[in-house]
Amino acid sequence: LHPVILFYNIFLKIYFGVIKLAGTWNPKARRWANGRKNWQRQLQQQFQPHKNKQTVWMHCASLGEFEQGRPILQKIKTQFPDCNIVVTFFSPSGYEIRKNYTGADVVMYLPEDSQKNAAAFLNIVQPTLAIFVKYEFWHYYLSELNKQKIETILVSGIFRNSQPFFKWWGGFHKNMLLNFSRLFVQNQSSASLLASINIQKNVTVCGDTRFDRVLETAEQWQPIAAIESFIQPHKKILVAGSTWKKDEQLLAPWLEQHKNDWQLIIAPHEVDDEHIQQLQQCFSNAILFSQLTTNDLILSAYDCLLINSIGQLSKLYKYATVCYVGGGFNKSGHHNILEAAVYGKAVITGPNFQKFKESVDLKSYGGSFTVSHADAFAQTIKEINFETSGKIAAAYVQQQSGATQSIMNYIQEKRLLTNA
Each residue's pLDDT tens digit, 110-157: 999 999 999 999 999 999 999 999 988 999 999 999 999 999 999 999
CA distances for 252 relative to 276, 317, 379, 420, angstroms: 14, 19, 15, 61
pLDDT tens string 145-192: 999 999 999 999 999 999 999 999 999 999 999 999 999 999 999 999
pLDDT tens string 374-412: 999 999 999 999 999 999 999 999 999 999 999 999 999
d(CA 139, CA 15): 15
pLDDT higher than threshold 80 for residue 51 = no
| Sign of the CA dihedral with 295 first, then 297, 300, and 303 last | negative
pLDDT higher than threshold 70 for residue 308 = yes
pLDDT higher than threshold 60 for residue 420 = no
Beta-strand pair 129-133/55-60: parallel
Half-sphere exposure for 168 (CA within 13 Å, toward CB): 0
d(CA 125, CA 56): 9
Least reliable range by pLDDT among 213-222, 258-267, 296-305, 361-370: 296-305
d(CA 110, CA 260): 50
3-state class (DSSP) for residue 57: strand
The fraction of the chain above a pLDDT of 90, given in percent, is: 87
Helix H or strand E segment including 14: helix 3-22
Provide the pLDDT for residue 312.
Answer: 84
Q: Which of the 8 DSSP states describes residue 291?
A: G
pLDDT higher than threshold 90 for residue 309 = no
pLDDT higher than threshold 70 for residue 294 = no
pLDDT tens string 236-288: 999 999 999 999 999 999 999 999 999 999 999 988 899 999 999 999 899 99
- Give the chain's mean pLDDT: 94
pLDDT higher than threshold 80 for residue 319 = yes
Question: Rounded to 5 degrees, what are φ and ψ at 377?
Answer: -60, -50
